[in-house]
Amino acid sequence: MFNQDTDITKNIRVIEFLKSELLTAVAALYQNLIKGTKVGQEVLVDILANLILVTYLLGKRLGIAAAVIDSKIMEKIRIGMIEDHETEKWYGDLSDLSEYMSKLRK
C-alpha cells in the first residue's frame, strides 16, 4: 500500500511540476514576443519546442498517449481546413501542417 501511495504522490508532484513548466513557457513566449525583433528566432523555437514537449509529457502523466494527442491534432487540422480557418484561408498553414504531420507518420 505504501508503494502505491508513493507512486500516486510522485505522479501528482510531476503533474504539478509540468503544469508550472507549461505556464512558465507560455509566460516566456509572451515576454519574448513583446520584445519583438530583438529576440532571435532560436529563442522562440526553443520556447515553442518546450511547450510542445511539456504538453506531451503532461498528457502522458494524465494517461493520454502521444498518439492520441497527435490524432486529435490531425482532427482539429481537418476541421480547421473544412471550416476555412483564418490561417488556412490566408496562408494555407493548416494544409502545410497536415502535410508535415502526414510525413511524420510514415
Contact 71, 104 (CB under 8 A): no
- The rounded distance, in Å, linking the Cα atoms of 54 and 71 is 18
Residue range 7-29, pLDDT digits in tens? 899 999 999 999 999 999 999 99
Instruction: Please give the model's pTM, rounded to 2 decimal places.
Output: 0.88
DSSP 85: -
- Ranges of the chain with pLDDT below 50: none
Question: Would you call 3 helix, strand, or coil by DSSP?
Answer: helix
The residue type of 2 is F
Q: Please, how many CA atoms are within 13 Å of residue 79, restricted to the half-sphere of its CB?
A: 6
67: its cell numbers:
498518439
Q: pLDDT value at position 106?
A: 74
Is there a contact between 70 and 101 (Cβ–Cβ < 8 Å)? yes
